[in-house]
Structure formats: C-alpha cells, structure tokens
Amino acid sequence: MSTAVDQGADRAESITAVPVRHPGRWVASLVLLVLAAMLVKALLTNPRFNWPLVGQYLFSAPVLQGLRNTLILTALAMATGIVGGLVLAVMRLSANPILSYVAAGYIWFFRGTPVITQLVFWFNLGLLFPTLGLGIPFGPEFVTFTTNTLITPFAACLLGLGLNEAAYMAEIVRSGINSVDTGQAEAAGALGMSRSQTLRRIVLPQAMRVIIPPTGNETISMLKTTSLVVVIGYFELQTAVQSIFSKNYQPAPLLIVAALWYLVLTSVLSVGQMYLERHYGRGTTRPGDDTGRGGFGGFGGRLWRTRTGDGR
C-alpha cells in the first residue's frame, strides 16, 4: 500500500505545507520531563534507597535461588494451565452436554475463588483428606498415600496456580477457537480430515493468533502471582528477599532487588511473545506490514497514528 502512495508522490508535485502547531503538546511534554527529572534525582540522591545494598544482593545466592524457583514455578504452572485450558475449552465446545457443563462448572469455581484461598487450601489438603488412594471407585483401594507427603509445598503451589490458570486459559482458548471462520472446518471436513485433525492442523494454528496475546499477559501475570506462595512458605524470589530483609531490616533495597528481577523477566517474556506472534501471524500479514498488534508492533502502531495526525 505504501509503495502505491510513494509512486503517486513521485509523479505529482509533493505538498509543502506549514504543519499545524500543537502548543499544548509542548507544554505537556515539558511538565512530564520536569517530573521525570525530579523522580530520577529523588531515586539517586535519597540515601535511604541504599543502592549499594541493592547491588550487593542483586546477584546473591539466595536471591538467585529464589529467582530460579520462580522461573520453574511459572513455567510449570503455565504449562499446566495451558494444557488444562485447552482440554477444558474443547470440553466446553463439545456437543456432549455433560462434558460442556463440567467444564463450565470448573471454570465458574476456579475463576470465582481467590487464588490465595486455593493455594492455602491445597497446602492444607491433608486436614480434609489425611490419605489419598488409587483403586476402584466406591471399591477397594490398591495403594494409599499420606496426603502430607504427596502434597509438598511445591506441589501445592503447582496445583493452586496451575488449576486456577487452566480456568482462565480455557476461556482464552475458547475465544480463539470461536474466532476461526466455520468455513475452515468445513473445508477441512470436505477434504476428508477427521475432527481432531481439523482441530490440530487447521483450527488451532489459526486460533493461536487470537490466543497468544492474552496468554502472554497471563504468563507475565503468573510470573508475579507466584509471589503469593509466600503464604505457604515455598521459597521463591519474593520469599527470598523477605527472609533477607526480615533479618537486616532493609526492606526498600531488597524489594527493589525483587522488582528489578521481575522487570527483567517480564521484558524477556515480552520479546518472546513478539516472536511467537510473528510466527503465528504468517499468512495474515504481508511482509513489511506493521499491524500495530501487541508487543513492539503496538508501539509502532501508535507512532504511525501520531505521524498521520501531524500530517493533517
């Protein structure tokens, strides 16, 4: 599209007009710059932020250990959520009313209760069910476990975060599947593809374009939600810094340490999301097209809009 406009510009005499002035924008920019400068000065010159201590703890062993556990927990909880969400979404869209209602009931329950409640509940499962067994329903049990040995703090975290996430992912996947034109499934069916082949090879790859941006959101949100497991004492980034500042009484620099790491990880995830979106957007965007959707593309979209605004 842009090339056609360029060619037109070559042929005709290009317009040189005095652009519209925007004094309001200049004033607003000036005010923001002054405020930003004040903030930077406050951050750097206030000794109570204790930046040397931030540097000292940023790469310390307990912080790195906590960071590692945060990453593992985020990855596994999201994996549980995505797989569970996919299964629930397919159940929800099933023609079988039992499957559909069970999925709806699950989503209703897990979205309707706070995740912190669920975490504490899983951690204390032993109070309700002292033992868990495998066997025939309403019949004999073959193996029996003590709940407290099976549900470690880590397992409780994973169950609490993963099962809760599955409910949210189910809705995301469902909206993605619904966004794909029904003609696609018909065309696949007319070619002799089975329903599961159609789902895997035709519908889901196209649904991904709709599924990925909110899933990126969920992953970033999950990264920070893992800090809630402080309540059941699992050792991750937030627990690590809390245990340090409870001893040295320096909460501010240690919370900055945690915040810096969360920011770094979120930035890395955002870049990863951009590449995933580009991969699944193939066929829908032409080379060199800026769709202005998500990630850095969204930034570009905003810039472009400002520029046309100036041109008018």
The number of residues that bind another protein (CB under 8 A) is: 23
Q: How far apart are alpha carbons 312 and 303 in whole angstroms?
A: 15
According to the binding rule CB under 8 A, does residue 306 interact with another protein?
no
Of 146 and 184, which has the nearer Cβ to another protein?
184
61-92 and 97-112 helices cross at what angle (nearest 10)?
150
Query: What mask of x and - would describe binding to another protein in positions 28 to 57, judged by CB under 8 A?
Result: ------------------------------
Shortest distance, position 186 Cβ to another protein, whole Å: 6
Among 201, 246, 267, 302, interactor with another protein by CB under 8 A: 201
Provide the minimum distance between the beta carbon of 93 and another protein in the complex, in angstroms, as a whole number.
Answer: 16
Site membership for another protein, residue 187 (CB under 8 A): yes
Residue 191 has phi, psi (to 5 degrees) of -85, -5
Minimum separation from the CB atom of position 273 to another protein (A): 18
Contact 142, 133 (CB under 8 A): yes
Is the CB of 157 or the CB of 203 nearer to another protein? 203
DSSP E strands in the chain: the ranges are 131-135, 141-146
Q: Is 22 helix (H, G, I), strand (E, B) or coil?
A: coil
Among 11, 21, 286, 312, binds another protein (CB under 8 A): 286
**Dist. CA 12–CA 277, nearest whole Å:** 38
Strand locations in 136-212 (E): 141-146
Is the Cα torsion angle 38, 39, 44, 45 positive or negative in sign?
Answer: positive
Nearer residue to another protein within complex by CB, 44 or 190? 190
Give CA–CA dist 304/292, Å, rounded.
Answer: 9
Q: Which is nearer to another protein, 98 or 190 (CB)?
A: 190
Q: Where are the beta strands (DSSP E) in 89-155?
A: 131-135, 141-146
| Interacting residues of 280 by C-beta distance below 8 A, sequence separation 6+ | 205, 208, 209, 212
Q: Is 192 a residue that touches another protein (CB under 8 A)?
A: yes
Binding test (CB under 8 A) with another protein, winner from 59, 181, 263, 275: 181
Kindly report the number of other CB atoms within 10 A of residue 134's CB atom: 9
> Shortest gap between Cβ of 275 and another protein (angstroms)?
16
By CB under 8 A, name the one of 86, 202, 211, 223 that touches another protein: 202
CB of 68 to another protein, least distance (A): 36
Residues in contact with another protein by the rule CB under 8 A: 181, 183-184, 186-195, 197, 201-202, 205-206, 280, 282-284, 286
